[in-house]
Amino acid sequence: MQITQTPLAGLLVIEPKVWKDNRGYFYESYNAKLFAEAGISANFVQDNQSFSQKGALRGMHAQSPPFEQGKLVRVLQGAVWDIAVDIRKASPTYGQHFGVELSSENHKQLWVPPGFLHGFLTLEDQTIFTYKVSNYYDKASEIGVMWNDPDLNINWNASIPEQDLLLSDKDLLLSAFKDFKSPF
Ligand SMILES: Cc1cn([C@H]2C[C@H](O)[C@@H](COP(=O)(O)OP(=O)(O)O[C@H]3O[C@H](C)C(=O)[C@H](O)[C@H]3O)O2)c(=O)[nH]c1=O
């Protein structure tokens, strides 16, 4: 397993050891001992899964304390451009983002600690996104910022025209970053 630091402290890219043979492949998608050695020692309490068509954009979301969530995210089928935004007020990279392609081909995972907004843009039809979270869902604790906020200026790294994006009604009404009061 290879762990890669990102420019945002604590945000890590994980690439598992993939065992391939004439039947296909095998890899450990999670190992508490190895992940703890890499600095990911969350107590995961819930697994989530979403299915999205190309152009679906989910984000940018987080849950505020005491329901803050660490997220270990990956793609089972298809591909996404995954984004995390640092919203830790004391962080030197506050407001900065990091993006990475997660796909069924590259088997990459992203560890998103509490203190980040998270979201993704779906790059292929019938994409299955799955993730472990370190706290339960709490609707009242949901916070978020618009995917296209000018101050965040997120690079979505894809040539999907805005009119072809698929967003929830909720995500069309999220806060502007200039009005956002981070609880981290
Ligand atoms: C997140 C969540 C949602 N729900 C229910 C509530 C909603 O009526 C329905 C769809 O939820 P939502 O539209 O918030 O789903 P996403 O837009 O994929 O939300 C996720 O988007 C980005 C990628 C994130 O990082 C978060 O994990 C999460 O906010 O599922 C639950 O029952 N449990 C849950 O944990």
| Interval 88-92 mean pLDDT | 98
Residue 125, in any domain of the structure: yes
- For position 33, which CATH number holds? 2.60.120.10
As a whole number, the mean pLDDT across the chain is 97
Residue 48, in any domain of the structure: yes
Residue 109, in any domain of the structure: yes
Give residue-wise pLDDT tens across range 36-47: 999 998 999 999
Residues annotated as catalytic (active site), given as ranges: 61, 131
Residue 156, in any domain of the structure: yes
Q: Whose CA is nearest to atom 23 of ligand 1?
A: 119
Q: What is the pLDDT of residue 159?
A: 83
Residue 184, in any domain of the structure: no
Give residue-wise pLDDT tens across range 137-184: 999 999 999 999 999 999 998 888 999 999 999 999 999 999 999 999
State the complex-level ipTM.
0.98
Q: Whose CA is nearest to atom 28 of ligand 1?
A: 61
What's the total number of domains in the chain?
1
The ligand 1 atom nearest the CA atom of 171 = 17
Over the range 11-37, which residues count as b (16 or more CB within 10 Å of their CB) and which as e? bbbbebeeeeeeeeeeeeeeeeeebee
What is the distance in A from the centroid of ligand 1 to the CA of 66? 18
What is the distance in A from the centroid of ligand 1 to the CA of 108? 21
103 pLDDT tier (thresholds 50, 70, 90): very high
| Interval 11-26 mean pLDDT | 97
The structure's pTM equals 0.97
Distance CA 122, CA 125 (A): 8
The domain in which residue 171 lies consists of: 2-179
Distance CA 26, CA 73 (A): 18
